[in-house]
Amino acid sequence: MMISTRGRYALRLLTDMAERQSDGYVPLKEIAQRQEISEKYLESIVKTLVKGGVLTGLRGKGGGYRLSKAPDQVAVGAILRMTEGSLAPVACLEPGAAACARAAGCRTYAMWQGLDKVIGTYLDGFTIADLMQAEQPGDFYVI
């Protein structure tokens, strides 16, 4: 499983918005400039997030986007599932996948199920609020 730029940029977009929640609606153009991401690409990501109920948009002067929920109520795993479609490590664990004819005798199926559970649990354990608090690269060292 590899997370695409779509999923990674969605998390950057939401973290940026969350850090500016008190500013009201945040114009997408400003986020694109701060994050150095194409505004056009962000527009396609925003559509998915609005449809998923994560963002609310306002048109016109003073418009933009804002989070529909508090940052601590937005799970990273949910955002990645929304933008990536699935986090399953193998095709047979994809949501809606046809039953595998070999599943009963598959010696690796349980391992893949375990990995799928670990990935989901790990990513669902983080929220946008957690990403806002994350250490910045270079802010720590080990002796």
> What pLDDT is attached to residue 108?
92
What one-letter code names the amino acid at 81? R
HSE of 103 in the Cβ direction (CA atoms, 13 Å)? 11
Q: What is the SS3 assignment for 14?
A: helix
- Token reading at 4: 């695409």
Question: pLDDT per position in the chain (143 positions), as tens?
Answer: 789 999 999 999 999 999 998 888 999 999 999 999 999 999 999 999 999 999 999 998 888 999 999 999 999 999 999 999 889 999 888 888 888 888 788 999 889 999 999 999 999 999 999 999 866 555 555 55
